[in-house]
Amino acid sequence: MEDLSMKRVIVITGATGTGKTTVSQYLNSHYDIPRIITHTTRPKRPGEVDGVDYYFETAESFPKNHYLEDVMYASYQYGSSYEGLDRAFEKADLVSIVLDTKGAQTYAEQLGEKAVVLFLTVGKSDILKDRLTSRGDETEMVNHRIRSKEYKRDLELPVALTGRATVIQNDDWLKTQRALDAFVSALRIQQQSVES
Ligand SMILES: Nc1nc2c(ncn2[C@@H]2O[C@H](COP(=O)(O)OP(=O)(O)O)[C@@H](O)[C@H]2O)c(=O)[nH]1
Ligand SMILES: Nc1ncnc2c1ncn2[C@@H]1O[C@H](COP(=O)(O)OP(=O)(O)O)[C@@H](O)[C@H]1O
């Protein structure tokens, strides 16, 4: 892996449906912050594209990559590869990644202060199921996901990330955008002071 000095990763984490993908897309479209594309054995949802949303893998191809971390989430494998991290850093010094809370903890441990953690939450978790349904997820997948132990775990900020993560309650998208704008400007100011 190349020299990581000056480079930072915004680690976006939280339960399914809290808006992690939406936030990463906002950071990309408004601030040119590319997302590290991760690998999964989960089947593609309608509209998802290989190499854009994920690198979609089979049980045979998944182990062939070199992972900084990998997890099982609701019965599928997910992993962030060194190759994916390098490809994102070729595009920018500030990149993002969307991870479950277990992966977020590993990233925070492995990358130290180069990992800046953003934990998303909502006021009432009952709305998450509706968000997944309106996103177009199949009912069976939604139910399986909501019943998984990983879903329940990711509703809470892990103790290890308390005090380390910036928490954004994503109920009102306009308020979330304002919180993200403030978060990115603070990061950029820090980055400039490191570089000067
Ligand atoms: N640890 C880890 N988690 C990942 C990785 N890629 C995706 N995830 C997380 O896996 C979980 C399931 O992702 P996905 O199936 O896309 O469902 P979604 O969160 O409902 O959009 C989410 O919490 C993702 O943030 C990875 O490479 N490592
Ligand atoms: N603040 C919000 N209010 C209402 N719907 C939202 C909000 N943020 C995201 N969504 C919608 O909720 C669904 C789940 O968001 P998504 O970003 O895919 O979540 P995650 O990646 O955490 O699973 C999507 O359809 C998205 O457009």
What residues does each domain of the chain span?
Answer: 8-36+93-195
CATH 3.40.190.10 assigned to domain 8-36+93-195? The reply is no
Measured CA to CA, the distance from residue 72 to residue 49 in angstroms comes to 21
Instruction: List helix spans (H) across the chain.
Output: 20-31, 82-91, 101-111, 126-135, 139-147, 149-154, 173-195
Amino acid at 183: F
- Total-model pTM: 0.96
What percent of the chain is predicted at pLDDT more than 90?
88
78 lines ligand 1 (CB under 6 A): yes
146 lines ligand 2 (CB under 6 A): no
- Please name which ligand lies nearest the alpha carbon of 67: 1
Question: CB-based contacts of 56: which residues, under 8 Å, 6+ apart?
Answer: 39, 40, 41, 42, 43, 44, 48, 50
131 lines ligand 2 (CB under 6 A): yes
Give the Cα-Cα-Cα angle 46, 69, 50 (nearest 5 degrees). 25
Residue with the smallest CA separation from ligand 2 atom 24 is 135
User: What is the position in ligand 1's atom list of the atom closest to the CA of 100?
Assistant: 23
- Please name which ligand lies nearest the alpha carbon of 53: 1
Tally the residues of the chain: 196
**For a pocket test of ligand 2, which of 13, 119, 122, 135 has the largest count of ligand atoms closer than 8 A to its C-beta?**
135
| pLDDT tens column, 145-188 | 999 999 999 999 999 999 999 999 999 999 999 999 999 999 98
135 C-beta neighbours (distance < 10 Å), count = 14
Residue with the smallest CA separation from ligand 1 atom 12 is 73
ipTM above 0.85, yes or no: yes
Q: Is the pLDDT of residue 6 over 90?
A: no
96 lines ligand 1 (CB under 6 A): no
| pLDDT tens column, 110-137 | 999 999 999 999 999 999 999 999 998 9
